[in-house]
């Protein structure tokens, strides 16, 4: 990430008075920043420094919006009178690096606002004596294993927690592997790695209470999820990483047979934050108590700054496959989430967090959504700065992709939603936005064969979020998307005048059954009107000529004579022809 957003939510009380500018006190006495610490231009700033900004009046904390470049994880704290905000980085700042902080917006209790953005820069102290001479790095260094290497091998003759754990085979005396994973978690220090040999380990509540450090993680490494099984025997949790415990890595294992969480980091209601949680090549299944309405997620992270989830699979659980709660600066990649039948179950759900990228993932056969950017209860801070890219959602009960609960600054790019909406109580089709979601961008997506609209913007539960004030933006942008064969048309926008819709260079193909093609806040657009430009520049309504739309899953690459070829608009990405193609895939001859 090049920048970290400080945006939490926006309660735009000031906008209610701006139209009546005559005699407005904000024009005579505009709000401003009194001071910053570090001061603008400061040098030799300690690596453990906090950043504070002092305003000349009481702020509305939830309206603060800004960036820090290079990006850092952080926590926020306000003074009792809301005039000073303190930003505490969750990791040491990089040495010999210039940071630029910008407050782009803030609103105040007297209904005034900052007139213009305020920026200040500072430079940290130089590199330490152990620096290699190649200069400071702006991004956090990858965790590495720099300590002892241990082994757990319950099925090896002579394995015992009384051993030294330093070898995979028993050599006599106390020279040999440990027998339990919990003992390894108890013994490891920062920088240590424990290898888990093949077998089934009947353990639950394996608890990590000790954190690693930057550059010296604590790692648990199995021989692969098809070889190493942690069987919880119906226990409440499989692996527990305590609140505030970071720099922990788990890889190469399966966690199964739990009545609750398979893996949990942090704790609901505990505000201690942790940095650097890494899960790689981890599978979880049969978690959360089946169809229980109180079933819990397979993997859940609370208050984690900087995380990496890669090559995960969640299956046959009671609720969300993966749930991220107030997590920041992380990635979810190359993972699959399926078979969560609980009444509130999604494949992957993010709540409250920001600066998250989800890419190359698949979610299918979940009860509600494949991918959900959400929050419950609906209170700030709201999720923002989230990108979902090159993902595939199919056979989910309500919709493939959802964004709601005032979540904002969300981008869906090059995703495919297929055959979602099997639940007749709420068949919302391919992509759905509701509960005051705003500033959502759709680029190069394909919505095909869903029960419901290809894309829908709904006013569902509108009153639940409007108590937090007017939305600071009401824009939804559609470019280079393709719809095909959705049962309730290509695009539905509910309401009257709540939204600003930007729709350009999309193929809004729909069923030929007489169902409307596009419905936007009371206005119906027919194929002829769309092709004539009534909806927006470059929109068409035509068979996209996919290679095989009827395949399972459909092959949505474009045939050589597709009307979508060279029919899109450049969005800053590479393309093969005279202009980008519409849809998920660029055709390359």
Residue 72 is predicted with a pLDDT of 75
Residue 555 is predicted with a pLDDT of 96
Looking at the fold, whether 581 and 447 belong to one and the same domain comes out as yes
Residue 41 is predicted with a pLDDT of 84
Q: End-to-end alpha-carbon separation of the chain, Å?
A: 33
Residue 416 inside a domain? The answer is: yes
Looking at the fold, whether 171 and 207 belong to one and the same domain comes out as yes
Question: Which among 467, 469, 439, 442 is positioned nearest to 453, based on CA atoms?
Answer: 442
Looking at the chain, the whole-number percentage of residues with pLDDT higher than 90 is 66
Compute the distance between CA of residue 150 and CA of residue 178 in angstroms, rounded to an integer: 8
Look at 300 and 91; give whichever has higher pLDDT.
300
Residue 294 is predicted with a pLDDT of 53
Residue 129 has pLDDT above 60, yes or no: no
Residue 130 inside a domain? The answer is: no
Q: What is the pLDDT of residues 75-95, one digit of tens each?
A: 889 999 999 999 988 778 888
To 5 degrees, how large is the angle CA 184–CA 186–CA 192? 55
Q: What is the pTM of this model?
A: 0.77
Residue 137 has pLDDT above 50, yes or no: no
Looking at the fold, whether 189 and 297 belong to one and the same domain comes out as yes
139-148, 322-331, 455-464 — most confident range:
322-331
Over range 246-267, report the average pLDDT: 96
Looking at the fold, whether 59 and 177 belong to one and the same domain comes out as no
The last residue of a domain, from among 301, 325, 343: 343
Looking at the fold, whether 384 and 314 belong to one and the same domain comes out as no
Residue 307 inside a domain? The answer is: yes
**Residues 488, 514: contact at Cβ < 8 Å?**
no
Residue 109 inside a domain? The answer is: yes
Looking at the fold, whether 309 and 418 belong to one and the same domain comes out as no
Residue 138 is predicted with a pLDDT of 31
CATH number of the domain that residue 259 is part of: 2.160.20.10
**Residues 434, 457: contact at Cβ < 8 Å?**
yes
Residue 453 inside a domain? The answer is: yes
The last residue of a domain, from among 305, 323, 343: 343
Looking at the fold, whether 105 and 159 belong to one and the same domain comes out as no
- Residue 379: pLDDT band by 50, 70, 90 thresholds? confident
The last residue of a domain, from among 296, 312, 343: 343
Over range 71-78, report the average pLDDT: 81
Residue 136 has pLDDT above 90, yes or no: no
Q: What is the pLDDT of residues 345-365, one digit of tens each?
A: 899 999 999 999 999 999 999
Residue 136 inside a domain? The answer is: no
Residue 470 inside a domain? The answer is: yes
Q: Which two tokens stand for residue 250?
A: 């788990």
Looking at the fold, whether 421 and 327 belong to one and the same domain comes out as no
Residue 142 has pLDDT above 70, yes or no: no
Looking at the fold, whether 112 and 234 belong to one and the same domain comes out as no
Residue 356 is predicted with a pLDDT of 97
Q: Into how many domains does the chain fold?
A: 3
Q: Which two tokens stand for residue 283?
A: 């599978």
Match 């961008």 to its residue by tokens.
441
Q: What is the pLDDT of residues 498-557, one digit of tens each?
A: 999 999 999 999 887 656 799 999 999 999 999 999 999 999 999 999 999 999 999 999
Over range 244-265, report the average pLDDT: 96
Measured CA distances, 25 to 3, 10, 14, 61, 151 (Å): 34, 21, 12, 21, 69
Q: What is the pLDDT of residues 308-336, one digit of tens each?
A: 999 999 999 888 999 999 999 999 999 99
Domain enclosing residue 401, as ranges: 346-589
Looking at the fold, whether 455 and 575 belong to one and the same domain comes out as yes
Residue 193 inside a domain? The answer is: yes
Residue 95 is predicted with a pLDDT of 80
| DSSP, residue by residue, 95-147 | TT-EEEEEEEE-BBTTS-BBSS-EEEEEEEPPP-TT--SS---SSPPPP---S
Residue 412 is predicted with a pLDDT of 98
Looking at the fold, whether 76 and 98 belong to one and the same domain comes out as yes
Look at 6 and 434; give whichever has higher pLDDT.
434
Residues in Cβ contact with 396 at an 8 Å cutoff, skipping those fewer than 6 apart = 346, 347, 363, 364, 365, 366, 367, 368, 369, 370, 420, 421, 422
Residue 5 has pLDDT above 60, yes or no: no
Residue 134 has pLDDT above 50, yes or no: no
The Cα diameter of the chain in Å comes to 89
Looking at the fold, whether 565 and 450 belong to one and the same domain comes out as yes
Least confident span in 13-17, 120-124, 571-575? 13-17
CATH number of the domain that residue 110 is part of: 2.60.40.1220
């Amino acid at each position: 990430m090049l920048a970290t957003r400080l945006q939490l939510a926006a309660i735009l009380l000031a906008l209610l008075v701006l139209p009546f500018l005559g005699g407005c006190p904000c024009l005579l006495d505009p709000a401003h920043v009194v001071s910053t610490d570090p001061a603008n231009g400061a040098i030799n700033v300690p690596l453990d420094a906090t950043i504070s900004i002092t305003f000349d009046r009481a702020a509305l904390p939830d309206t603060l919006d800004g960036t820090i470049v290079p990006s850092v994880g952080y926590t926020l704290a306000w003074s009792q009178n809301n005039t000073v905000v303190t930003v505490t980085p969750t990791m040491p700042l990089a040495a010999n690096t210039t940071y630029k902080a910008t407050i782009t917006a803030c609103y105040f209790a007297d209904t005034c606002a900052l007139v213009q953005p305020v920026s200040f820069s500072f430079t940290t102290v130089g590199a330490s004596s152990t620096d290699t001479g190649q200069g400071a790095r702006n991004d956090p260094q990858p965790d590495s294993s720099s300590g002892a290497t241990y082994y757990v091998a319950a099925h090896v003759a002579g394995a015992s927690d009384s051993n030294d754990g330093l070898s995979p085979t028993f050599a006599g005396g106390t020279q040999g592997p440990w027998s339990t994973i919990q003992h390894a978690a108890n013994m490891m220090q920062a920088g240590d790695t424990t290898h888990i040999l093949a077998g089934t380990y009947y353990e639950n509540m394996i608890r990590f209470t000790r954190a690693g450090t930057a550059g010296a993680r604590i790692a648990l490494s199995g021989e692969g999820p098809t070889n190493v099984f942690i069987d919880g025997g119906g226990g409440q949790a499989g692996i527990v990483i305590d609140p505030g415990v970071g720099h922990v890595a788990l890889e190469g294992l399966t966690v199964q047979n739990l009545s609750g969480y398979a893996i949990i980091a942090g704790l609901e209601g505990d505000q201690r934050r942790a940095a650097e949680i890494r899960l790689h090549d981890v599978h979880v299944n049969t978690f959360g108590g089946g169809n229980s309405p109180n079933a819990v997620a397979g993997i859940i992270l609370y208050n984690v700054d900087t995380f990496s989830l890669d090559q995960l699979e969640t299956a046959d659980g009671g609720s969300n496959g993966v749930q991220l709660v107030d997590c920041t600066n992380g990635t979810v990649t190359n993972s699959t989430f399926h078979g969560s039948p609980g009444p509130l179950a999604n494949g992957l759900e993010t709540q409250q967090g920001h600066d998250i990228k989800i890419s190359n993932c698949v979610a299918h056969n979940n009860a509600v959504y494949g991918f959900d950017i959400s929050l419950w209860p609906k209170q700030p801070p709201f999720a923002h700065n989230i990108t979902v890219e090159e993902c595939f959602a199919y056979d989910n009960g309500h919709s493939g992709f959802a964004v709601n609960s005032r979540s904002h600054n969300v981008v869906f790019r090059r995703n495919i939603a297929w055959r979602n909406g099997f639940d007749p109580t709420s068949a919302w089709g391919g992509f759905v936005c509701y509960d005051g979601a705003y500033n959502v961008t759709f680029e190069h997506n394909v919505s095909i064969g869903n029960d419901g609209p290809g894309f829908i913007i709904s006013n569902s539960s509108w009153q639940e979020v409007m108590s937090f004030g007017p939305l600071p933006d009401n824009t939804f942008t559609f470019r280079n998307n393709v719809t095909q064969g959705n049962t309730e048309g290509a695009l539905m926008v509910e309401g009257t005048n709540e939204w600003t819709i930007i729709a350009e260079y999309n193929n809004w193909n729909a069923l030929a059954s007489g169902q409307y093609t596009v419905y936007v806040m009371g206005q119906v657009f027919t194929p002829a009107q769309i092709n004539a430009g009534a909806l927006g520049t470059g929109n068409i309504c035509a068979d996209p000529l996919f290679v095989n739309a009827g395949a399972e899953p459909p092959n949505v690459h474009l045939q050589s004579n597709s009307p979508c070829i060279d029919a899109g608009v450049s969005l800053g990405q590479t393309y093969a022809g005279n202009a980008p193609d519409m849809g998920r895939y660029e055709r390359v001859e």
